[in-house]
Structure 1
Amino acid sequence: MFGLIRTRTASKSLKNVAQSHHIASTSLKDKLRALLRETAQPVAVVTSFMQPDSPSTSHTFHGATLSSFTSIAMDPYPFIAFALRMPSRMASSLDAAQPDQASHMVVNLLSAEQASISVKFSRPDLYPEPFSSIPYSLSEEGLPIIDDSLGAISCKLVSKAIPLHDLELSRGESSEEMMKPPLEDCPSSKLFIARVTRVESSPSDHDDSLPLLYHRRQYTSCQIPPFSPAMDP
């Protein structure tokens, strides 16, 4: 009887600890989201091949608006990174990319006039075929480059995506326990790191283009001329 009571007490204690960690984590995320809303984020759309449903069907294109995109290094090679929430058709497409492909994706940095394109690629429930209504050309590998974007870069993944629901796995430990997928009620993301293989277009191709930015939950752009802070004497 005493053993049963101790087991129930320990179980209750662990549950309370888990709830405390969950509350603390939620508070941290809310504070971080509030802070990041005050910074302007570039808006990008990544395009790739979607794997065919069967051997008899050909490749089709897929695109997704990125909520996070950044350049992480220039030397010794230019690298970019972004994360995708799971489940994600884009993540599945990139996970299936073959190592011998020269490029796995094109990252299109949108211009100030392309907010509608960002919406189309962020709402597949409303726009199941966004490529049917936007102009684009193809890269050397046959990947879509969105017309009139601020710039576009072809990129090649440097490794498999890093699942972010398991910190032990991201450190290189790979036991079967750690390889388990996240719980259904636990949001998760994957981190993709890629090397830039080619600049497809740049702002010099569109002299008067301004970037599309996301700030305080709405689309905006930057001012021209740029603000120049006063220099200390």
Structure 2
Amino acid sequence: MTRRHSLRYIPRRAYSTSTSLTDTHGKLRALLRETAQPVAVVTSFMPKSSGQDGTAYHGATLSSFTSIALSPHALVAFSLRVPSRMATTLSELAAAPSSGTHFIVNILSARQADVAQLFSRPDLHPQPFESPQIQWSLTRDHLPLLHDSLGALACQVVGAAWPLSDLEALGGKAGETVEGAATGDGVVSELFLARVLRVEDVPSSAAAGDEAGTLPLLYHRRGYGTVQSPPPSPPSNR
């Protein structure tokens, strides 16, 4: 795999002090590091506050994104750490009496590792849409669309976000919560379910023959990379 590394700080996550749970979480985390994940950026607009002039756009790199159904409804899911401006934005949009598009999921191409980095660190890059590295335009729903993405999905949040720190709220047993979540010591996330309303046409500045623009950006072993053909299998001794 061709890999473009970034110096991202990966925070430790505080879970239950149970030895078995800690062991399971550690093994799962190690396994997932070996499993390449697609990289996407969710973009939307922040609901207007009093005294705000104009529309404030916001985006966030997703650490988890997947398609969960194509029929009868096209559905995707992702999680966001809370508190975060994007989680607050999507929750407010979901509660509003509107049936329109709430956000865009921009599935990044292999040439957009810098884009993923910009939208992953609001502490370092509080205004990524003003960066010369970001080429974007508005969709017909007036939502920001990142140019040169592999693809983009116009989505609508379905229902309220699910608190992943509270298994009881998800149908589990009473009292099954992540230790530290209530005190702020743990990393807490919310799960968002969304319906895909439309696949957008994405403007591209890639030159003819630019393969990186047609390959997915992947996150693997704490670095960004893409795909390549696997090496041939060794001959069988049978």
Q: Same fold (TM over 0.5)?
A: yes
Q: Give the residue type in structure 2 aligned to 1:169.
A: A
Match of 2:226 among 218, 221, 224: 221
Q: Is contact 2:43-2:60 (8 Å) kept?
A: yes
What is the CA–CA distance in structure 2 between the aligned matches of 1:19 and 1:94, rounded to whole Å?
29
Which residue number in structure 2 is paired with residue 112 of structure 1? 110
**CA–CA distance in structure 1, aligned partners of residues 219 and 149 of structure 2:** 16
- Cα deviation for residue 38 of structure 1 reads 0.9
Secondary structure of the 1:45 match is strand
Cα 1:228–1:101 shift into 2, 3 Å: farther
Extract unaligned runs of 5+ from structure 2.
Answer: 1-14, 175-180
Task: Give the structure with the larger helix fraction.
Answer: 1
Map of 2:150 onto structure 1: 150
Please name the residue that 1:4 is paired with.
none
Q: Which amino acid aligns with 1:221?
A: T
Counterpart Cα distance in 1 of 2:228 and 2:182: 43
Q: Report the residue type matching 1:87 in the other structure.
A: P
1:131 maps to 129
Question: 1:29 deviation in Å?
Answer: 1.5
Give 1:105 shift: 0.6
Partner of 2:39: 43
Correspondence 1:82 to 2:87: no
Given candidates 119, 125, 132, the residue that maps to 1:121 is 119
2:167: which partner in 1?
A: 167
Select the structure of larger CA radius of gyration: 1
- Look up the SS of the partner of 2:165 in the other structure: coil
CA distance in 2, matches of 1:188, 1:99: 28
SS in structure 1 opposite 2:104? strand
Measure the CA separation in 1 of the matches of 2:184 and 2:166.
Answer: 14
2:3 equivalent in structure 1: none
Q: Greater RCO between the two (CA within 8 Å, min separation 6)? A: 2
Deviation at 1:59, TM superposition (A): 2.8
Structure 1 portions without partners, runs of 5+: 1-17, 175-180
Q: What is the CA–CA distance in structure 2 between the aligned matches of 1:57 and 1:28, rounded to whole Å? A: 49
Which of 67, 81, 101 is matched with 2:63 structurally?
A: 67
Cα contact 1:151–1:203 (8 A) shared by 2? no
Q: Structure 1 residues 32 and 58, CA, compared in 2 at 3 Å: closer, same or farther?
A: same
Q: Does 2:20 align with 1:24? A: yes
Match of 2:5 in 1: none
2:169 aligned counterpart, secondary structure: helix
Deviation at 1:130, TM superposition (A): 0.2
Runs of 4+ in 1 over 6 A off after TM superposition: 202-207, 226-230
CA shift, 1:71, in A, is 0.2
What is the aligned partner in structure 1 of residue 30 from structure 2? 34
Residues 150, 203 of structure 1: 8 Å contact kept: no
When structure 1 is superposed on structure 2, of 48-57 and 28-37 the one drifting more is 48-57
1:100 aligns with 2:98: yes
Residues 185 and 221 (structure 1 numbering): CA distance in 2 closer, same or farther, change over 3 Å?
A: same
Percentage of matched positions with identical amino acids: 52
- Is the 8 Å Cα contact of residues 107 and 152 (structure 2) preserved in structure 1? yes
For the Cα contact (< 8 Å) 2:38–2:216, is it kept in 1? yes
- Name the aligned partner's letter for residue 105 of structure 1: F
- Shift in alpha-carbon separation, 1:95–1:51, aligned structure 2, 3 A: same
Q: CA deviation at 1:28?
A: 1.6
3-state SS of 1:167 partner: coil
In the alignment, the residues of structure 1 paired with residue 90 and residue 25 of structure 2 have an alpha-carbon distance, to the nearest angstrom, of: 27
